[in-house]
Amino acid sequence: MKMHGLGNDFVVVDARAQMQPVTSKLAQAVGHRHFGVGFDQLAVITAEGAGDAHLTFYNADGSRAAACGNATRCIARHLMDESGKTALHLTTQRGDLAAEDRGNGLTAVNMGAPQLAWHEVPLAREMDTLRLPIEGEPTATGMGNPHCTFFVEDLAAIDLAARGAALEHHPLYPERTNVQFAQIIGPDHIRMRVWERGVGVTLASGSSSCATAVAAARRGLTGRSVQIDLDGGTLEIDWRDDGVWMTGPSSHVFTGTLTPAFLDSIG
């Protein structure tokens, strides 16, 4: 299936009935926007575990990701439509995630508690995650994947492609990092752009939105419930005692089959 959440697009392989082996090589081939299907992340649905479904994620470069907020929301919407349920229990490498139908085409996912200690993000050495020793003093947050959030006065002046590419591989982040640049619009309103680890510039990112909301609240720039405007649309983020809830729309674009010839060409 091809899905997207605010233009953050995914290929979703439903392997519940018949396991489709997914490798990094296959993910890279399917993710190519000219020779494959194209995606920001690939997600595999399996029936393992105690929840309604288990989700596994790959980036466009073939690397694995423990979490992907927008993909989780898209898949949750699909599973709710399929089953008639209004609440789901999903399992991921990040942990157990709850999803709820919020009506009007909106789906909410609890992305879990943020990881705020340096070794949880993870960072290369012990330090205060609120202000990193990097020019611009970004904040580090873990959401099952690492994040580096800069707060800027003029988002339009930031060369996201150049800055993001360099910062993804910063030595303080041994597992690389997602990079966000955010501008505070008001106490409950943020404008944000994102460079995703292993992907590049994307129109939206759920886990990046959660990390940015947490970072803004920790620094006293906003409250714990915010609207985040991304290039592809708007998400509502609410950092509660039970975790960081993300609410937004999703789209199921088409369902298709990879041909035997394409699969054989991968080797």
The DSSP string of the chain is -EEEETTEEEEEEE-SSS-----HHHHHHHH-TTTS---SEEEEEE--SSSSEEEEEEETTS-EES--HHHHHHHHHHHHHHH--SEEEEEETTEEEEEEEEETTEEEEE----B-STTTTT-SS---SSS-SSTT--EEEESSSEEEEEE-S-GGG--HHHHHHHHHT-TT-TT--EEEEEEEEETTEEEEEEEETTTEEES--HHHHHHHHHHHHHTTSS-SEEEEEETTEEEEEEEETTEEEEEEE-EEEE-----HHHHHHH-
Q: For 233-256, what is the mean pLDDT?
A: 97
Query: Does 67 have pLDDT greater than 80?
Result: yes
Query: Does 20 have pLDDT greater than 90?
Result: no
Whether residue 147 is found in the same domain as residue 226: yes
- pTM to 2 decimals? 0.93
Q: Does residue 151 contact residue 145 with C-beta atoms inside 8 Å?
A: no
Whether residue 177 is found in the same domain as residue 195: yes
Query: Does 21 have pLDDT greater than 90?
Result: no
**For the chain, what is the domain count?**
2
Whether residue 146 is found in the same domain as residue 107: no
pLDDT of 104 = 93
Asked which of 45-49, 165-169, 222-226, 243-247 is least confident by mean pLDDT, the reply is 45-49
- How far apart are alpha carbons 217 and 220 in whole angstroms? 5
Whether residue 83 is found in the same domain as residue 169: no
Query: Does 19 have pLDDT greater than 80?
Result: no
Note the pLDDT tens digit of each residue in 180-229: 999 999 999 999 999 999 999 999 999 999 999 999 999 999 999 999 99
- Could you give the percent of the chain with pLDDT greater than 70? 100
Query: Does 48 have pLDDT greater than 90?
Result: no
pLDDT of 17 = 85
- How far apart are alpha carbons 240 and 201 in whole angstroms? 28
Whether residue 166 is found in the same domain as residue 67: no
Q: For 14-42, what is the mean pLDDT?
A: 92
pLDDT bin (cut points 50, 70, 90) of residue 10 is very high
CATH number of domain containing 236? 3.10.310.10
pLDDT of 18 = 81
Whether residue 34 is found in the same domain as residue 104: yes
Whether residue 232 is found in the same domain as residue 256: no
Whether residue 98 is found in the same domain as residue 153: no
Task: Assess if residue 130 is contained within a domain.
Answer: no
Task: Assess if residue 235 is contained within a domain.
Answer: yes
User: 166 versus 18: which is more confidently predicted?
Assistant: 166
Note the pLDDT tens digit of each residue in 127-178: 999 999 999 999 999 999 999 999 999 999 999 999 999 999 999 999 999 9
Q: For 55-82, what is the mean pLDDT?
A: 94
Task: Assess if residue 125 is contained within a domain.
Answer: no
pLDDT of 148 = 98
Q: For 75-91, what is the mean pLDDT?
A: 97
Query: Does 50 have pLDDT greater than 90?
Result: no
Task: Assess if residue 67 is contained within a domain.
Answer: yes
Locate all alpha helices (DSSP H) within 128-249, ordered by sequence.
160-168, 206-218
Task: Assess if residue 20 is contained within a domain.
Answer: yes
pLDDT of 44 = 96
Whether residue 222 is found in the same domain as residue 255: no
Task: Assess if residue 123 is contained within a domain.
Answer: no
Whether residue 106 is found in the same domain as residue 143: no
Task: Assess if residue 126 is contained within a domain.
Answer: no
Residue-range definition of the domain harbouring residue 81? 2-111+250-266
Query: Does 230 have pLDDT greater than 90?
Result: yes
Task: Assess if residue 12 is contained within a domain.
Answer: yes
pLDDT of 167 = 98
Whether residue 170 is found in the same domain as residue 257: no
Whether residue 6 is found in the same domain as residue 107: yes
pLDDT of 239 = 98
